[in-house]
Structure 1
Amino acid sequence: MRQKPVKLIECPRDAMQGIHDFIDTDLKAAYINLLLQVGFDTIDFGSFVSPKAIPQLRDTAAVLAKLDLGTTRSKLLAIVANLKGVEAACSYPEISYLGFPFSISETFQQRNTNSGIAQSTDTVKRLLESCEKWQKTAVIYISMGFGNPYGDEWNPEIVEKWAAELVGQGAKILALSDTTGISSPEKIRAIVPGLIRHYPDVEVGLHLHSTPNTRYEKMQAAYESGCRRFDSALKGFGGCPMASDDLTGNMATEELIYYLQTKDEHLGLDMEKWQEALRFSAKIFH
């Protein structure tokens, strides 16, 4: 069976959203424009959510207007949390993907989207309908996919149940998400191969958070489990603001690139532009 190509999703949105001081719109756009030239499959660049919830990203539409999309092969992804956000994101032809965080922890879903799992299931249904109408693709993040700190029940069977539900509704991309960095190689190996096997027509990706000393083993477990869609952020910036460990951030893109190169994966990246983005990042992440 032919190996699927690796897709790298660079996530400046996730890296920036928790920063308290507002990052100038021109600075955000300049940074994302650099990332657009590197050659990633997708740039998770912004979100259409309430400015009260994520004030840092209140200028997503203004940033989008400043992006140079004429020479990039990367596609744009924006996060939405409700139908108002879906409507806003769908109005921009430049956006290819709408990402929706679907938490399988009732507590976190209420905190994150101000709605429970039942209501969010209906939101996913309507999101998928809107995506079809506007020729977008939904990325459904199975949030708290490796457990949760709230005491809500979690096991691999619950993950599999909700994956089946979402695929049944028509989801084509599922990103299993570790919101607080509690995934482990054992959990990844227990869940990911089965999802890939059961849903050959669905893209199963991973959005992992991690401390620096556990990133490599999680990358390895994911890759060896058949995952070929990885979310990451330059230098591992960002992650869940509610994570208890300050070192818990995104998977570091430069480490992921290095790991995949050791596996002879051809990533097709412009490494000069990547180095430029690494240098520029110091203007945003102090």
Structure 2
Amino acid sequence: MSLKKIKLVECPRDAMQGLHHFVPTELKSAYLNLLLQVGFDTLDFGSFVSPKAIPQMADTQQVLENLDLSLTSTKLLAIVANLRGVESAIQHQAIDYLGFPFSISETFQQRNTNSSIEQSLSTVEDMLALCAKNNKKAVVYLSMGFGNPYGDEWNDEIVEKWTDILVDKGVGIISLADTVGISTPEKINHILPKLISRFSNIEIGIHLHSTPAERFEKIEAAYHSGVKRIDSALKGFGGCPMAADDLTGNIATEDVIAYLNDKGENLNLNMDKWNEAMVLSGKIFG
């Protein structure tokens, strides 16, 4: 497998959104500017959502204005949860991707976006139309893609059904999202290769959450499944505050880097800037 087919997506937004203390805008911006210099394909930097729902992201527009994009090829991704968020995000030329969390768990869709699955499908349609008009790309996260803690029905046929529907609507990038850390290597190896084989013209990625003990086996399963994009966050910080009170962190970027380096992949990352970001992260996350 060549890394040219894998996009590394760094997710500081996901890492910060569940923090109980507000990270000052200047500190957020400095951290993101370091990450922009590392060389990731995409930076999930912020979200245009209700500040009541996610107070940490209330300053996304101000942060965006502070980012230095002059010396980076990294693309910016912003999360949106409704049409208002889409309309806000598309106004910013610097943003390349709009990401929407589309859950195949009705319970989580209501918790996360205060809308039903069917209502959210309509939002995706509107997002696709607005992205096409404004030179943006849509990324749809298939949330609770490996099961859910609410008792909502889940199986791989449901995953495939909703992937089929989204692709039919025109979605070109889909990231299968674990959300609460209940994926296993067995599930990853069972579900992803089938999706990638069936939807060969679609960019299919993975957004995993995990305990530290399970990270490497999940990374390995994702790598061998043939995913085209891998989301992760420095030190494995983060978790979805809308999903559970006890957050399960992201896959740690340093573990992804270590695994891919071990496989002989040429990542072409600026590790000096990465190490600077690692040090600065202590001021953000403690």
Which of the five TM-score ranges fits, normalised by the shorter chain? over 0.9
Match of 1:226 in 2: 226
Match of 1:17 in 2: 17
Distance in 1 separating the partners of 2:178 and 2:144 = 6
Distance in 1 separating the partners of 2:2 and 2:271 = 27
Report how far residue 228 of structure 1 moved. 2.9
**Counterpart AA for 2:102:** F
Report how far residue 6 of structure 1 moved. 1.9
Q: In the TM superposition, what whole-angstrom CA distance separates every residue of 1:23-64 from its partner, at most 9, and x where no partner exists? A: 100000000000000000000000000000000100000000
- 2:13 aligned with 1:6, yes or no? no
Counterpart secondary structure, 1:210? coil
Note closer, same or farther for the CA distance 1:225–1:173 as it changes in structure 2 (3 Å cut): same
Counterpart secondary structure, 2:175? strand
Counterpart secondary structure, 1:284? helix
Q: How does 1:1-286 map to 2 (within 5 A)?
A: 4-241=4-241, 242-243=243-244, 245-246=246-247, 248-286=248-286
Distance in 2 separating the partners of 1:226 and 1:14 = 24
Question: TM-score, structure 1 length as denominator?
Answer: 0.97
Counterpart secondary structure, 2:5? coil
Distance in 2 separating the partners of 1:231 and 1:260 = 14
**Counterpart AA for 1:101:** P
**Kept after mapping to 1: 8 A contact 2:3/2:266:** no
**Counterpart AA for 2:42:** T
Q: Any gaps of 5 or more consecutive residues in structure 2?
A: none
Percent identity of equivalent pairs: 65
Report how far residue 266 of structure 1 moved. 1.2
Distance in 2 separating the partners of 1:245 and 1:220 = 25
Distance in 2 separating the partners of 1:204 and 1:244 = 29
**Kept after mapping to 1: 8 A contact 2:2/2:265:** no
Report how far residue 239 of structure 1 moved. 1.2
Q: Which moves more between the two structures, 83-92 or 223-232? A: 223-232
Distance in 2 separating the partners of 1:52 and 1:265 = 42
Report how far residue 243 of structure 1 moved. 3.7
Report how far residue 169 of structure 1 moved. 0.4
Distance in 1 separating the partners of 2:274 and 2:39 = 9
**Kept after mapping to 1: 8 A contact 2:77/2:95:** yes
Distance in 2 separating the partners of 1:285 and 1:113 = 26
Q: In the TM superposition, what whole-angstrom CA distance separates every residue of 1:221-280 from its partner, at most 9, and x where no partner exists? A: 11011113100000000012344655x200000010000111111111001111111011
Report how far residue 200 of structure 1 moved. 1.3
Distance in 2 separating the partners of 1:119 and 1:139 = 17
**Counterpart AA for 2:70:** G
Question: TM-score, structure 2 length as denominator?
Answer: 0.97
Report how far residue 2 of structure 1 moved. 7.2
Distance in 1 separating the partners of 2:246 and 2:50 = 26
Counterpart secondary structure, 2:45? strand
Q: Any gaps of 5 or more consecutive residues in structure 1?
A: none
Counterpart secondary structure, 1:222? helix
Q: Which moves more between the two structures, 45-54 or 265-274? A: 265-274
